[in-house]
Structure formats: C-alpha cells, structure tokens
Chain A
Amino acid sequence: SAVISQKPSRDICQRGTSLTIQCQVDSQVTMMFWYRQQPGQSLTLIATANQGSEATYESGFVIDKFPISRPNLTFSTLTVSNMSPEDSSIYLCSATGYTEAFFGQGTRLTVV
C-alpha cells in the first residue's frame, strides 16, 4: 500500500486568491489523480497528474483554473486559482498501485 501525505489539511481563503495543495506519496506510483468532493457528495475526478507533462483534465475542469504539476513519480500539486465561494470543497489526492487506489486525507477549502 501507499501512504499519501497531503497539505494543508484545511484552509480558509479570500475570494480571488489562489491556493496550492501538495501531495507526497511514500513510494513510486504509476498514476496520480486529483478529486473534488463537495459536502455530502461523491468524488468527482478533476484530472490525471502526468509526470513531466501537462495534466489530463476531465470535462468541466480546465488548466487555467486548476493547474497541476507532477515533477516526479511521488509528488504532485494542485492549485485552485482565482477562488470563489463555489470552490469551497474537499480536494483529495489519489495514487494508484497495482490493484487499487489510495487517498490522501484531503484538503478542506473554504472560500470567503
């Protein structure tokens, strides 16, 4: 299994600002993903973080709003840009091993 450290665990941000979330995995993994989970809802995939190249975004998510980096096999960042209250959510980093995905503890973001 993989242990995923995500930080910050929570933050309260002013609208119009940006927040970068970091995700560190304790072992090399093939795939890393970023999800959003709104309160009481399921998880929605934002993008696949590709090592050394641009992330692959799902429908409804764009690079200008959610830039993602993955400089190596164990580290990725997600930035939530130009935040609005609608971005208030939990953001989860995920890494996939051979048989299953593991998740970070999440970042609870509140935009005021």
Chain B
Amino acid sequence: DAGITQSPRHKVTETGTPVTLRCHQTENHRYMYWYRQDPGHGLRLIHYSYGVKDTDKGEVSDGYSVSRSKTEDFLLTLESATSSQTSVYFCAIKGTGGYNEQFFGPGTRLTVL
C-alpha cells in the first residue's frame, strides 16, 4: 500500500462548513496528489505537490486548497463545502521508478448535505 494513509475515511458534513482531509505517507516521496472520483468521470486531479510548500493546480481545483508543510503530509481543504463536492477523494504518491507510476491511498468518502 506504499505506506499511504488517509483520514478521515468517511465524513458527513453540512453545506458551507470547512473540511480538511489528510494524506500521510511514510516513505519520503516527493510528489503527492489529490484526486476525486465520481461515477462517469473517472479520476480527476485536484491539486498536486512536488515538494514541501510546492503545490500546483490540477484539472478540477476550484473550491479546493492544499498545503504541504512537511514531506509526509498533504492536506486538502474545502473552505466552504458544497453538495457538488460529495465524492470519494484519493491521495496518491509518485513512485521511484522514473516514470509517473502512482500509488493510491485507501480513499475518503465525503458526503456534503
């Protein structure tokens, strides 16, 4: 499982509340990613990080922010959750094989009521 954990694993929240999801890795990988997965859309990249304090936007970044203050943790924040952000969120790391092989965390199921 490439030493990746996500917390919480499940969360139900109300529209308008802030939510932070955490991704933690134990193997000192430089690149980390946040994806969302929705039926019919596959996996879509939200934000990614290429080092401590180095982050960039992905395909669907509106309404999300990220932070990476240390190598092992990559946080995804929904400043004011909306029902359209109900999804399964996966964190991933880039492996060390020299290409863009990525390994995923177990996922967080977020429901925004």
A binds B: no
Taking Cβ atoms with an 8 Å cutoff, the residues of B that contact A are none
Taking Cβ atoms with an 8 Å cutoff, the residues of A that contact B are none
